[in-house]
Structure 1
């Protein structure tokens, strides 16, 4: 009988911890040295938060002052482009900045096409709905989003799917994240239909309920899905 060959020592397989870190990073989540979620880093750090907030803030301020839609749109686009240039200079990954430029560009095109300043925020509604549907489907098919993300961070891999209690916990965690996205729509859609009269409130709530609120929802979901502590060893207690 021929025994299977062992892998060469120079081609070591990545550990579960390394896989977890890589998967979490691709999902936009990062963990700290103690194994918890690094909230600030998951939000993209100070620069990442600024990239998500400032283009919309510049649009609101410019439109409020000038009442000129093209000027406000150009200001927003220029801000998003400036962050991309900054990342090029810093030699940092461009994914987040480029996604921001594309998003701002599409939003600006839509608002410019309709001539309505509030349409600058319409794209975000459709993005929210898409995420809500995707996460709801992940629960329906027993692959809850929270489990896919947190399971790797916690080095559970996909073993959590074999345990009903863990499956239930990750379903609840996913519903928490969904509730954040639904809350955005509940608050912001009525403001959108108010037209220009609701623009300031819509823009303000978009800033407050953007990345910071999403990361807060993820953090709450993380806390709710913590595994139960292992029972103490009776022998240890007697000693």
Structure 2
């Protein structure tokens, strides 16, 4: 056997015995894929804080000062400050803009209440109405999506992958997204069931309007945020398990023949 032949055999044996670093060394899990895509869709912790804190500031200030103008200005100021920081950092402003739009819609409802002669308490109650309506709409949409087997979280995943429906081919991803969707909608659903009747009673004058605003504010702070934290914590726990390998699609190319 020649030296060249021997060297070739040795190299061949080394190639067969050493791992191929050009191929995946581990199987990616469903949880890791969904966790990554949800983080992009929701903006991570920072995006969720930027979306929620302005409303929290409004509620706190209204409950403690009963000064509607101060509560609105402070909530808007917090959102604008977050926007400025994003612009300086040249990062995405999507999540801050969502908060600003929410405050803007609330302000429109406040002005509508004022234009009909509503008191400051009536106007504060009106500020909460868009949030209650929005929570009710997305709760219904997400419940239906789970019941028909196309959970809402799956579309959030698809929105950042470039293919909005490819995730539905993997039953494991569908199952995980269904559980995540139920958790995601739970705080909003509870909020609507509790805050909706209070709003209606306050708007109709059955209970004092200022009392209705106070009850809704307490529900948002004392129940809404703990529920959100609990739901998000459970979602993080589900996504941190990394327990479900992604199903590999069968190779339909068939054997190659000469």
- Under TM normalisation by the shorter chain, which class is it? 0.5 to 0.7
Q: CA deviation at 1:55?
A: 1.6
**What is the CA–CA distance in structure 2 between the aligned matches of 1:135 and 1:180, rounded to whole Å?**
12
Q: Structure 1 unaligned runs (5+)?
A: 1-16, 31-39, 64-71, 231-239
Alignment-derived partner of residue 64 in structure 2:
61
Cα deviation, residue 122, structure 1: 1.8
Q: Which structure exhibits the higher relative contact order, with contacts defined as CA atoms closer than 8 Å and separated by 6 or more residues?
A: 2
Deviations 1:25-65 (A, max 9, x none): 3x3242xxxxxxxxx33422xx65432311222223232xx
Q: Which runs of 5+ in 2 are unaligned?
A: 1-31, 88-92, 202-206, 246-258
Q: Would you say the 8 A contact 1:56–1:203 is kept in 2?
A: yes
Name which of 62, 72, 82 aligns with 1:77: 72
Take 1:158 and 1:215, find their aligned partners in 2: how far apart are those partners?
29
* Structure 1 residue 78: Cα displacement: 1.1
Alignment check: 8 A CA contact 2:55 2:103 kept:
no
CA RMSD of aligned residues (A): 3.7
Distance 1:89 1:41 in 2: 14
- Identify which of 45, 48, 57 aligns with 1:43: 48
8 A Cα contact 1:108 1:120, kept in partner:
yes
The aligned counterpart of 1:218 is 232
Matches of 2:155 and 2:84, distance apart in 1: 34
The CA distance in 1 between the partners of 2:233 and 2:100, in whole Å, is 26
| 1:163–1:50 CA distance, 2 compared to 1 (3 A) | closer
Cα distance 1:91–1:221, how it changes in 2: closer, same or farther (>3 A)?
Answer: closer
Answer whether contact 2:187 2:224 (CA < 8 A) is retained. no
Tell me, in whole angstroms, the C-alpha distance in 2 between the residues paired with 1:167 and 1:91. 34
1:229 deviates by 4.8
Report the counterpart of residue 132 of structure 2 in structure 1: 125
CA pair 90-175 structure 1, distance change in 2 beyond 3 A:
closer
The CA deviation at 1:105 is 1.0
Q: 1:99 aligns with which of 91, 98, 101?
A: 101
Decide whether aligned partners of structure 1 residues 220 and 98 sit closer, same or farther in structure 2, where only a CA change above 3 A counts.
same
Farther off after superposition, 110-119 or 131-140: 110-119
Aligned to 2:110: 108
Please say if residues 62 and 68 of structure 2, whose CA atoms lie closer than 8 Å, have aligned partners that are also in contact: yes
The count of corresponding residues between Structure 1 and Structure 2 is: 192
TM-score normalized by structure 1? 0.62
Q: TM-score, normalised by structure 2?
A: 0.58
Cα distance change of structure 1 residues 97 and 169 upon mapping to structure 2, 3 Å threshold: closer
Q: How has the CA–CA distance of structure 1 residues 124 and 209 changed in structure 2, closer, same or farther, with 3 Å as cutoff?
A: farther
